């Protein structure tokens, strides 16, 4: 527990931020995210899903309901939803959306508006996909690190003799 923060319900959010940074594909700023992620990219359930959705909704309404807002939650939390009537009405009017996802790739596509991309049999992603851009950037960083570690050391200087040159 970290005071008001418990568990790892922000781990998917952190991964989305990393993937956005690596790919150079921006994330929409009108969507909140909650959900834990495992090592397979599967979104896991979190506690307090109703409170998290309603809290974000309340903040959005205070800022002005002239825009559309959304929240991404774990698919496995859908059965736990018991939202107040005000939230349900906003969903019906199209002013608030709730997306339930099972994988990081599903959420990534929603957050970026760009297909995350599915690897083919050889592990290659469609060129325009977020995942292809992530892989390209990781290869670029790997090459930079390889080049840095293989560079030649600077030429050695001769030791100073203590004599002043004229």
Distance CA 22, CA 45 (A): 26
46 CB-side CA count, 13 A:
30
Examine residue 98 and state whether it is found in any structural domain, yes or no: yes
- CATH number of 63's domain: 3.30.230.10
Tokens encoding 76 = 């496995």
Question: pTM value?
Answer: 0.82
121 CB neighbour count, 10 Å cutoff? 5
Is 64 inside any structural domain? yes
Q: Which domain holds residue 108?
A: 11-116
Domain count, the chain: 1
Predicted pLDDT of residue 8: 85
Q: What is the CA radius of gyration of the chain?
A: 24
The answer to whether residue 83 is domain-embedded is yes
Catalytic site residues?
Answer: 9, 52
Q: What are the beta bridge partners of residue 18?
A: none
CA distance 11 to 71: 15
pLDDT of residue 2: 42
- CA 2 to chain centroid, in Å, comes to 21
For the residues 6-34, what does the mean pLDDT come to? 93
pLDDT in tens, 54-99: 999 999 988 876 678 999 999 999 999 999 999 999 999 999 999 9
Residue pair 142/124 in contact (Cβ under 8 Å)? The answer is no
Is the separation of the CB atoms in 31 and 110 below 8 Å? yes
- Joined together, the tokens standing for residue 143 give 């090459």
């Amino acid at each position: 527990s970290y005071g008001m923060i418990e568990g790892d319900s922000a781990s998917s959010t952190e991964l989305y931020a990393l993937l956005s940074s690596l790919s150079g594909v921006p994330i929409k700023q009108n969507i909140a995210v909650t959900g834990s992620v495992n090592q397979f990219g599967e979104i896991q359930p979190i506690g307090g899903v109703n409170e998290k959705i309603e809290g974000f909704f309340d903040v959005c309404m205070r800022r002005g309901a002239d825009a559309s807002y959304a929240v991404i939650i774990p698919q496995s939390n859908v059965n736990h939803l018991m939202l107040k009537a005000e939230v349900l009405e906003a969903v019906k009017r199209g002013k608030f959306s709730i997306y339930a996802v099972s994988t990081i790739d599903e959420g990534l596509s929603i957050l970026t508006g760009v297909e995350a991309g599915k690897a083919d049999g050889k592990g290659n992603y469609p060129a325009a996909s977020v995942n292809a851009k992530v892989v390209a950037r990781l290869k670029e960083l790997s090459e930079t690190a390889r080049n840095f570690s293989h560079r030649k050391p600077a030429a050695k200087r001769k030791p100073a003799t203590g004599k002043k040159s004229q």
